[in-house]
Amino acid sequence: MPAHGQDGPSPEPDRLVLPGGPAVDERLEAVVIGVVQGVGFRWFAVEAAGRLGLRGWVANRADGAVVCVAEGPRPALEALLRELAGGPISADVERVIPAWMPATGRFGRFEIRSGSHPGD
């Protein structure tokens, strides 16, 4: 049997991911660019996020884009990102700019916010 350490470095215990373990929430901040205002995009995002069990908000920006901030498990956030890229049938999404970060846990549900809100 090899001496300790000769098999290569052992993983740090806090970095182990066990199958079936609890999902770690993440945060997605996505800016959706294109014809996305006045076409029901925010309601579309609320419905998609609700179906996926996500928390956060969506709002129009003054420059014509829509910003969506969502927290939850990474697979659900990735599904939301795909939904945002497609948008409702009346939208014409040119691109979605995603940013990933740790979740804050500040949201109880997913809602539409005024474009003039200061964020969270």
Catalytic residue flag (residue 109): no
Buried b (16+ CB within 10 A) or exposed e, 40-56: ebbebbbebbeebebbb
Catalytic residue of the set 15, 42, 55, 113: 42
Q: Answer whether 107's CB lies under 8 Å from 120's CB.
A: yes
Residue 41 contacts residue 91 (beta carbons within 8 Å): yes
Of the residues 15, 51, 55, 60, which is catalytic? 60
- Can 27 be counted among the known catalytic residues? no
Residues assigned a catalytic role: 42, 60
